[in-house]
Amino acid sequence: MWPALWQTERVTLRLADVDLSLSLSREESERRIQGALRRLVHLRLLTAGLVGPAPHAPGLVVIFEGFDAAGKGGAIRRLVGGLDPRHVRVVPVGPPAPEELAHHFLWRFQATLPGRGQMTVYDRSWYGRLLVERVEGLIDDTIAQRSAREIVDFERALVDDGTTVIKFFLHLSDEEQLRRFNDRARDPLKQWKLTEDDWRNRSLRSAYEEAVDDMLRSTDQSHAHWNLVSAENKRFARVFILDTLIERWEADLHRRGLSVPPSRGANYLA
């Protein structure tokens, strides 16, 4: 198993506690990924009611947050690449549109939430409220604190109604982020990923780190834990995310009284 980057019990999570030295070889990473993807496909078919006796299994929400260039996109591609596209929805979240700004900040996510047996992956999420909007001064500390309480209540309502919520924050060092930015700037096929806003956000990194730690303190709850990901090494991060997702998902299914049979040929921890 992995080092204890997350705990079942409530602990105080901090970016400073993430071990950024963790890595995996290409061979080990590919072996672990292929095994995990087999298990993931089985779980997805099971919860979709397509195999086994689970026609009304919980919906699954997977949230990806993290610093720019931390590897969220690559991790999501690995996660959903082996799944039938009819069985998973990926939602990229950008700045709110004018109509969305006229509503409560959680309003725009309602239409993409998964129903029973469905799965939604958010590439960024409602946590932009506590990160970008707070750092940019679009909301003050009082509104940020209120929004954090509303997010906790929102996620608790989802869980109580039969949804599993699994959250990841991808962390990498300032030096590695700069290296990846420069790589993107030099590569014509990756330059589109790098914007002026990305460079500006780098200049506000200390403010973002403070906002992330505040977010973790206020929204890491027993019904919806945060999983901090050491993303300095992309191969390690992708395997860790898959293994953690499977473990969290299975645990919640067991908690809800659903039997999760073994997958043929998918002993992914071997």
Domain limits of the chain?
15-255
How far apart CA 39 and CA 27 sit, in angstroms, is 19
pLDDT at 261: 85
Backbone angles phi, psi at 21, to 5 degrees: -85, -5
H or E, element range at 21: none
pLDDT at 1: 37
Query: What dihedral angle (degrees, nearest 10) is formed by the CA atoms of 18, 22, 24, 25?
Result: 150
Q: What is the DSSP letter of 117?
A: T
244 within 8 A of 251, measured Cβ to Cβ: no
The CATH label, of 2.60.120.1440, 3.40.50.300, 3.40.50.20, 3.40.50.2300, for the domain at 15-255 is 3.40.50.300
Give residue for tokens 């590439």. Answer: 123
251 within 8 A of 222, measured Cβ to Cβ: no
12 within 8 A of 235, measured Cβ to Cβ: no
Give CA separation, 10 vs 4, 111, 189, 247, in Å. 13, 31, 42, 17
Give residue for tokens 């953690």. Answer: 244
pLDDT at 139: 96
253 within 8 A of 170, measured Cβ to Cβ: no
Tens-level pLDDT at each residue, the chain (270 residues): 333 333 345 578 999 999 999 999 999 999 999 999 999 999 999 998 888 765 678 899 999 999 999 999 999 999 999 899 989 999 999 999 999 999 999 999 999 999 999 999 999 999 999 999 999 999 999 999 999 999 999 999 999 999 999 999 999 999 999 999 999 999 999 999 888 888 988 999 999 999 999 999 999 999 999 999 999 999 999 999 999 999 999 999 999 988 888 886 544 443
254 token code pair: 């067991």
Number of C-beta neighbours around residue 235 at 10 A: 18
